[in-house]
Amino acid sequence: MKLRTGAELIIGGLYAIGAVHQSLFVLRESRGFYDAMAEQAWLPPAEALIEELLVPDSVAVTALVAVFQAAVAIAILTRGAAVRPALIAGGVFSVMAALTGSPAETVGYGILAAIQFKLASDRKSAGPAAAAED
């Protein structure tokens, strides 16, 4: 129980850091950030997706990513009923990041996605008591 709670808090903290990073650093250089992401992507469809969808609207995409990451962080860190859906949303986000990243990022985000899905599954298994005990 404490291990799961600790892992969830770490994940929530990572999303909070991500939101701050997106807001303070990436937003200023968003086009360059997504251009570099496209260059590093090792899956050809991911490169095309980034170049076609993310680069042209990089400021809006960055703002949306920051809002999403902040929402996930708040949902996880407040320890309420939204923790499980936030972990699932974060897991899907990590899968998307894995598919658009470099080979090393693919591994890292894949592991992060698996951890989030496992934590969400454990919460479902524990039932309503999981939220009450946190």
What is the CB neighbour count within 10 angstroms for residue 108?
A: 15
In the chain, where are the structural domains located? 2-133
pLDDT in tens, 32-73: 999 999 999 998 899 999 999 999 999 999 999 999 999 999
pTM reported for the whole predicted model = 0.88
Q: Is 3 exposed, middle or buried (0-12, 13-18, 19+ CB in 10 A)?
A: exposed
How many CA atoms lie less than 13 Å away from 59 in the CB half-sphere? 1
